[in-house]
Amino acid sequence: MAARWPASQRRDGVSYAVHRILATVQVDRDRFAMIKRAGARTHRRAPLDH
């Protein structure tokens, strides 16, 4: 899988699982754009209060 992610395209703060899933995208340009969007998220969904 490392061959699908050159060091310059790997994203700190994005999980290995996300990198693994996106590694299946065949077009490099599309894969690299997707990982940038994945790393751009700054919020997470809050748990529901019950």
pTM greater than 0.85: no
Say what the pLDDT of residue 19 is: 92
Say what the pLDDT of residue 34 is: 92
Domain boundaries, the chain: 2-39
Q: Going along the chain, which residue ranges are E strands?
A: none
Say what the pLDDT of residue 41 is: 56
Q: And the tokens for 12?
A: 């700190």
Q: And the tokens for 3?
A: 């061959």
Nearest to 11 by CA among 27, 28, 26, 32: 32
**Which tens digit of pLDDT belongs to each residue from 1-50?**
788 899 999 988 898 999 999 999 999 999 999 999 886 655 566 666 66
Residue type, 38: A
**Which tens digit of pLDDT belongs to each residue from 34-46?**
999 886 655 566 6
